[in-house]
A and B are shown apart, each in its own frame.
Chain A
Amino acid sequence: MSDTTTTTTERAPTVYVPSAEALATVLAPGSRPPRPSALSASLTFGWRAMLKIKHVPEQLFDVTAFPIIMVLMFTYLFGGALAGSPREYLQFFLPGIMVTSVVMITMYTGIGLNTDIEKGIFDRFRTLPVWRPAALVGMIFGDVLRYILAAVVILGLGLVLGFRPEGGVAGAVVGIGLLVVFSFAFSWVWTFFGLILRSEKSVMGVSMMVLFPLTFLSNVFVEPSTMPGWLQAFVKVNPVTQLVAAIRGAMSGESDPSATMWLLLWSAGFVLVFGTLTMYRYNRR
């Protein structure tokens, strides 16, 4: 999530004089409300993410302008050479670039978390008697909305440029749904790095190092059959490949059960491994 410059404007307000009576009314011990449920706490943290978007709308730039640039750039760069025309290429390419853009955007989860910790606000959250993962789950809930927005922007642009999914509306919805499931799971990789790395910059650096090979060494841009064997081996196990295959299947109306299964297994694995590592680090600090 992006950050704006901090300015302090000192107005000349009427001088505040703390009054014992006024303070007494708010200090009187009331009954403690019951602890909120895990879901309610997570949704409240999700609401915080919404409020941040409201106040800093520039942070939506990366889920709107960036995907648009990606789609236009690669469609017209490769389309003619790879598929005869950009329009032809788009039928193959759109689900792939959608995955690439959204998976790349997941790294902002780590950057946002790192910034929050640096500023100190997480100290407050961590002293609250709520379900421990709520702050992180809520943060990712907010990010999931951003992923959906990015996916819809890309799909919309694709439709304008001539992308015609055979699977119709249902196929498109399932495709975006699979993408959101995977991105939610994959975000936990970045919460972990956001916790262990020293600065926003190093989170960004590590993210790029992981994301570039993961998205490019896949079936996003071309069919893997032209690649050398060792590369095909990597492409085959790459979760992004499975994700793209599953989404292509859903959008073209011929679902790919094997790819879908692998994608869901990968997602469960990411949550299990990196969710656990994240919470371990979160509690240990």
Chain B
Amino acid sequence: MSRRTTGLAIEAEGLTRSFGDTRALAGIDLQVPAGTVYGLLGPNGAGKTTAVRVLATLLRPDGGSARVFGHDVVTEADKVRSRVSLTGQYASVDEDLTGTENLVLLARLLGLRKPAARERAAALLAAFGLTEASDRQVKKYSGGMRRRIDIAASILNTPDLLFLDEPTTGLDPRSRNQVWEIVRAVVSHGTTVLLTTQYLDEADQLAGRIAVVDHGRVIAEGTPGELKSSIGSGTVHLRLRDPAQRPEAERVLREALDVPVQLAADPVALTARVGDAGTDLDASAQAARVLSDLARAGIVVDNFSLGQPSLDEVFLALTDHPAVPTDERDDELEAAR
């Protein structure tokens, strides 16, 4: 039996929510197709967590409306709850309890009888590589294990929609990859995933569509490809040997790429976007041309790199202001009480 649903998993229109004077959501519109990974990309304080909390029925919106699989998140909260799971940014399992105890507890709350709950817990622990740690208190887990038990707890009943709020923040690269693999497996079984992240590459790796969120609004939306072609798919970073050559290097870059060149505070550094829509060369070919043009002009380059645009650069491109992090949850807790 396939649970793959067609249509929209989430539809939100004009969601607003304020905490005191802080406007966490300033009218968010979202349409998340079922069966996909959808990324909410933005800095801390952009409103991602608040949006997730509203959609997961934890917080009432001040205005606007949202439906999850057609059920209103305010008036039909219970119906929504029976189809979603949330892995929050903060502890979503009990740190004093062991891995097994946490999963058995939640499985019992979902209606499994004790033997079935134990069986389910053991199967999940095994699949998530936590069998060895199953009798240890969660507070003794490493960061990566913590995230895995959080996610395992969220799929005790395979949900139709899984919220993952910054699932890889603070994880080392290996643990991050493990989480990515798990997300891919979850979505391949028909679960829709709404993922929030501060990392463009994470959204790019996992999400079918991305909404870029800033100051409680969606400022850009589309597939990773569409977003990248609107903001440039890469960035070259240069460090020169001689700071006196920077004005000359800036001219060479501008002529080669036909884009604005950013001069960093560091007197030998320059940054420019490559791979913009409308150029006939891809990012690496453009980078190669920049290097050869610089060499021909006699400019000595000490360090050269080509990378994806960082979230900062995406924000600069989309909003003309850098991503300003604020601690959203603290604001929320302050104001909610």
Chain A residues proximal to chain B, CB less than 8 Å: 4, 6-11, 13-20, 22-30, 32-36, 40-41, 44-45, 47-48, 51-52, 55-56, 119-121, 123-130, 134, 196-198, 284-285
- Please tell me if the beta carbons of A120 and B92 are within 8 angstroms of each other in the complex: yes
B85 / chain A contacts, CB cutoff of 8 Å: 127
Least Cβ–Cβ distance between A165 and chain B, in angstroms: 38
- Please tell me if the beta carbons of A9 and B140 are within 8 angstroms of each other in the complex: yes
The answer to whether B174 has its CB under 8 Å from any CB of chain A is: yes
- List 14 additional contacts besides A6-B95, A25-B123, A27-B155; criterion CB under 8 Å: A13-B133, A20-B181, A29-B189, A33-B110, A33-B111, A41-B109, A47-B105, A56-B96, A120-B90, A120-B92, A121-B92, A123-B53, A127-B56, A127-B85
Given contacts A16-B129, A44-B108, contact A124 B158 (CB under 8 A): no
- Please tell me if the beta carbons of A123 and B158 are within 8 angstroms of each other in the complex: no
Given contacts A16-B148, A124-B92, contact A30 B140 (CB under 8 A): no
Which residues of chain B in 292-331 are interfacial with respect to chain A, using CB atoms and an 8 Å cutoff? none
Query: Could you list 21 examples of A-B contacts with CB < 8 Å?
Result: A16-B128, A18-B129, A18-B181, A29-B3, A29-B158, A32-B110, A33-B157, A35-B111, A36-B109, A48-B94, A51-B96, A120-B89, A124-B92, A126-B57, A127-B57, A127-B81, A127-B84, A128-B110, A129-B78, A198-B334, A284-B60
A51 / chain B contacts, CB cutoff of 8 Å: 96-97, 101, 105
- Please tell me if the beta carbons of B91 and A119 are within 8 angstroms of each other in the complex: yes
Expressed in whole angstroms, the Cα–Cα distance for A257 and B174 within the complex equals 68
Given contacts A33-B116, A197-B337, A285-B336, contact A126 B108 (CB under 8 A): no
Task: Determine which of B59, B141, B155, B189 lies in contact with A285 in the assembled complex, contact meaning CB atoms within 8 Å.
Answer: B59
A127 / chain B contacts, CB cutoff of 8 Å: 56-58, 81, 84-86
B261 / chain A contacts, CB cutoff of 8 Å: none
The answer to whether B139 has its CB under 8 Å from any CB of chain A is: yes
Least Cβ–Cβ distance between A207 and chain B, in angstroms: 17
- Please tell me if the beta carbons of A27 and B158 are within 8 angstroms of each other in the complex: yes
- Please tell me if the beta carbons of B97 and A27 are within 8 angstroms of each other in the complex: no
- Please tell me if the beta carbons of B142 and A8 are within 8 angstroms of each other in the complex: yes
Task: Determine which of B124, B132, B139, B189 lies in contact with A24 in the assembled complex, contact meaning CB atoms within 8 Å.
Answer: B189
- Please tell me if the beta carbons of A18 and B182 are within 8 angstroms of each other in the complex: yes
Least Cβ–Cβ distance between B4 and chain A, in angstroms: 10
Q: What bracket does the count of chain B residues touching chain A fall in?
A: 35 or more
Expressed in whole angstroms, the Cα–Cα distance for A130 and B144 within the complex equals 29
- Please tell me if the beta carbons of A23 and B90 are within 8 angstroms of each other in the complex: no
Closest to A123 in B: B88
The answer to whether B265 has its CB under 8 Å from any CB of chain A is: no
Expressed in whole angstroms, the Cα–Cα distance for A196 and B337 within the complex equals 6
A29 / chain B contacts, CB cutoff of 8 Å: 1, 3, 158, 189-190
The answer to whether B153 has its CB under 8 Å from any CB of chain A is: yes
B105 / chain A contacts, CB cutoff of 8 Å: 44, 47-48, 51
Given contacts A6-B95, A285-B59, contact A22 B101 (CB under 8 A): no
Query: Hey, what's the 0/1 contact readout for B151-195 against A, CB within 8 Å counting as 1?
Result: 001010110000000000000001000100110011011110000
Task: Determine which of B81, B98, B108, B182 lies in contact with A23 in the assembled complex, contact meaning CB atoms within 8 Å.
Answer: B182
A14 / chain B contacts, CB cutoff of 8 Å: 132
Least Cβ–Cβ distance between B303 and chain A, in angstroms: 33
- Please tell me if the beta carbons of B112 and A33 are within 8 angstroms of each other in the complex: yes
The answer to whether B18 has its CB under 8 Å from any CB of chain A is: no
B112 / chain A contacts, CB cutoff of 8 Å: 33
- Please tell me if the beta carbons of A124 and B108 are within 8 angstroms of each other in the complex: no
Expressed in whole angstroms, the Cα–Cα distance for A125 and B153 within the complex equals 11
Least Cβ–Cβ distance between B306 and chain A, in angstroms: 30
Expressed in whole angstroms, the Cα–Cα distance for A123 and B85 within the complex equals 10
- Please tell me if the beta carbons of B96 and A130 are within 8 angstroms of each other in the complex: no
- Please tell me if the beta carbons of B157 and A32 are within 8 angstroms of each other in the complex: yes
A130 / chain B contacts, CB cutoff of 8 Å: 109
- Please tell me if the beta carbons of B90 and A123 are within 8 angstroms of each other in the complex: yes
The answer to whether B220 has its CB under 8 Å from any CB of chain A is: no
The answer to whether B82 has its CB under 8 Å from any CB of chain A is: yes
Closest to B81 in A: A129
- Please tell me if the beta carbons of B97 and A55 are within 8 angstroms of each other in the complex: yes
The answer to whether B126 has its CB under 8 Å from any CB of chain A is: yes
The answer to whether B240 has its CB under 8 Å from any CB of chain A is: no
Expressed in whole angstroms, the Cα–Cα distance for A24 and B153 within the complex equals 16
The answer to whether B223 has its CB under 8 Å from any CB of chain A is: no
B113 / chain A contacts, CB cutoff of 8 Å: 33
Expressed in whole angstroms, the Cα–Cα distance for A128 and B105 within the complex equals 12
The answer to whether B137 has its CB under 8 Å from any CB of chain A is: yes
Least Cβ–Cβ distance between B228 and chain A, in angstroms: 27
